[in-house]
Amino acid sequence: MIIIPLFIVISHACSNSANTGWSNNYSKMLITTANSITNVDLNTVCPKIDPAKVPGLPPYQYLSSSSCLGYLGPLGPYGPLSSLGPLSNPFWYPSNYFGQIQLPTNIQQIIQWSQIQYGAPMSKDGPLGYKGPLATTQYYGQQDPGKTLFESNDFAVQLRAFGLWSALGPIGPLGPLGPLGPLGPIGDHGYSVDLNGNYLNGTKIVKTVTIDYDGSSTRTYPLYEFYQSSYAKTIQLDTSFLVESDVCQGDDAYQIGGLPFNQIVTFVLTPLLALDSYSLILQDQFGKVLAQSNADNYIQTIQVNVKMNTKLSVIVHPIFLSTTIGSYRLFVTGSTQYITQYNISGNQIQSN
Ligand SMILES: *[C@@H]1O[C@H](CO)[C@@H](O)[C@H](O)[C@H]1NC(C)=O
Ligand SMILES: *[C@@H]1O[C@H](CO)[C@@H](O)[C@H](O)[C@H]1NC(C)=O
Ligand SMILES: CC(=O)N[C@H]1CO[C@H](CO)[C@@H](O)[C@@H]1O
């Protein structure tokens, strides 16, 4: 007799399906961290995760430290963001590659010309265009293939904002906005790089690129810089960059924010040495701690909805270094003004 009303309450509390009930409310800060995600009670997550719609393993096993959120996963020291991946391999850098084969004309022009070729990385047919995972119709599940994907695969649903595996998803560092995509250091934008990591057109620093979105409108995306940490610590950063740093014992601090639009920002800290561990801390502009990720044996992540013009500090604090000097990469990936809505709730989300 008690169970029945309780059941009704719970089913009412989670009425939205994968592709409904989107919210754009930025009045309260919502936060997930590696700690909150790996301590989640799966029964509280909405839309409900149906184990039959999660391929492979039972859903909770994908939260284990030996799975995708741990050191052996794609965000870790053996994954594509680490020093084993393309960001550390000069062969992937278009300027080096083209430099070696000595093209007769201006490389920048050739690369920029290639962007308008069919299906090229920065064309409307590429990952940033109207058919890509960040297209409104795809991300929000309005049209196929996105619609069917999110209706049939609950792991995919949780790759979107505030989902359990969102750090691995389309608005995180492995997605098209991230460092491995067209906007990053090995991307197709064709800009050269100065010693600090800024992109240059001639002598002018370039921060964004505008691409054809669908043949009738454009989207302006932020470039993804690979900054020198000594430089990054001295400037106000946007939400689209990575920085690599060596640390001994002290903390590193980076100031970000002040952007003129709301967005969801994903922070990922990749240790470059497999035995090292760090704590990732987010503070407001007055030094108040908003979030801290320090889950044992996991890659530290924080995701937060950031209201326009908000200023934040990101602190990297070494917990354990296996050698005298540790080294890490910090990835900061904003969802841009084009993807701002979310519709996942559950006790993995904390609020401030
Ligand atoms: C947005 O969220 C705040 C805090 O949770 C709530 O008070 C407010 O009513 C919400 N606004 C809308 C339009 O839902
Ligand atoms: C580079 O700067 C020049 C001069 O301001 C401008 O005409 C050109 O469009 C710029 N190119 C790119 C790719 O931004
Ligand atoms: C987190 C969130 O915004 N959840 C919403 C999802 O959609 C349902 C309606 O279908 C809302 O009631 C939830 O608040």
Query: In this structure, which ligand is nearest to the CA of 349?
Result: 3
User: Taking Cα atoms as reference points, which of 311, 190, 300, 316 lies closest to residue 251?
Assistant: 316
Q: What DSSP assignment string belongs to 4-55?
A: HHHHHHHHHH----TT---B---SS-EEEEHHHHHT--GGG-BS---GGGS-
**Predicted local distance difference test score (pLDDT) of residue 108:** 58
Q: Is the CB of 343 under 6 A from ligand 3?
A: yes
3-state secondary structure at position 115: coil
Question: Tokens in use for 342?
Answer: 């979310």
What is the rounded CA–CA span in Å between residue 128 and residue 122? 7
- Looking at all shown ligands, the one closest to residue 12's CA atom is 3
**CB of 345 sitting under 6 A from ligand 3:** yes
**Structural domain includes residue 97:** yes
Domain that holds residue 91: 8-351
Determine, yes or no, domain membership for 299. Answer: yes
210 in contact with ligand 2, CB cutoff 6 A: no
- Verify whether ligand 2 is closer than 6 Å to residue 201 (CB atom): yes
Identify the helix (H) or strand (E) that includes residue 228. Answer: strand 225-228
Query: Does residue 348 have its Cβ closer than 6 Å to ligand 3?
Result: no
- The closest of 174, 172, 176, 175 to 189, measured between CA atoms, is 176
Tell me whether residue 150 is in a domain: yes
52 located within any domain: yes
Distance 22 CA to ligand 1 centre (A): 13
What pLDDT does 185 receive? 94
Is 3 part of any domain?
Answer: no
How many Å apart are CA 101 and CA 58, to the nearest integer?
49
Specify whether the CB–CB gap between 248 and 262 falls below 8 A. no
Query: Does some domain include residue 1?
Result: no
Residue nearest to atom 7 of ligand 1 (CA): 27
As a residue count, the chain comes to 352
Closest atom of ligand 2 to 189 CA is 13
DSSP assignment of 77-93 equals TTSTTSTTSGGG-GGG-
Buried b (16+ CB within 10 A) or exposed e, 311-333: ebbbbbbbeebeeeebbbbbbbb
- Residue spans of alpha helices (H) in the chain: 3-13, 34-38, 94-101, 107-114, 136-139, 146-152, 154-157, 229-232
User: Is the CB of residue 17 below 6 angstroms from any atom belonging to ligand 3?
Assistant: no
Ligand 3: residue whose CA is nearest its atom 4:
343
21 contacts 343 by C-beta, under 8 angstroms:
yes
pLDDT digits (tens, 9 = 90+) for 111-169: 555 555 566 888 999 999 999 999 999 999 999 999 999 999 999 999 999 999 999 99
**pLDDT value at position 314?**
98
Assigned domain for 329 exists: yes
Contact (Cβ atoms closer than 8 angstroms) between residue 212 and residue 121: no
What pLDDT is attached to residue 193? 94
CA–CA distance, 290 with 270 (Å, rounded to integer): 20
Tell me how far the alpha carbon of residue 63 lies from the centroid of ligand 2, in angstroms: 46
d(CA 189, CA 233): 25
139 vs 336: CA distance, rounded Å: 13
The ligand 2 atom at the shortest distance from the C-alpha of residue 190 is 13
**What integer pLDDT is reported at residue 105 of this predicted model?**
52
Strand runs (DSSP E) across 109-201, as ranges?
A: 192-193, 199-201
Three-state DSSP state, 111: helix
Spatial distance between the Cα atoms of 150 and 252, rounded to a whole number of angstroms: 38
Hey, which residues does 269 pair with through a beta bridge?
300, 330
Q: For position 286, what pLDDT does the model report?
A: 95
Beta-strand relationship, 277-284 and 289-293: antiparallel
- Single pTM value for the model: 0.90
Question: Which segments of the chain have a pLDDT < 50?
Answer: 1-12, 98-104
CA atoms 150, 34, 170, 212: torsion sign? positive
Question: Hey, which of 25, 349, 350 would you mutate to test ligand 1's pocket, going by the most ligand atoms within 8 Å of its Cβ?
Answer: 25
Tally of domains in the chain = 1
Q: Is 20 in the pocket of ligand 3 (CB under 6 A)?
A: yes
Mutational pocket test of ligand 1: of 27, 305, 340, 345, the residue with most ligand atoms within 8 Å of the beta carbon: 27
For residue 260, being part of any structural domain is answered with yes
Ligand lying closest to the C-alpha of residue 307: 1
Q: Are 284 and 312 in contact (CB under 8 A)?
A: yes
Q: Which ligand is nearest to the CA of 192?
A: 2
Asked if residue 178 lies in contact with residue 80, where contact means CB atoms within 8 angstroms, the answer is: no
CA angle at residue 34 from 276 to 293, to 5 degrees? Answer: 65
Closest C-alpha residue for ligand 2 atom 9: 201
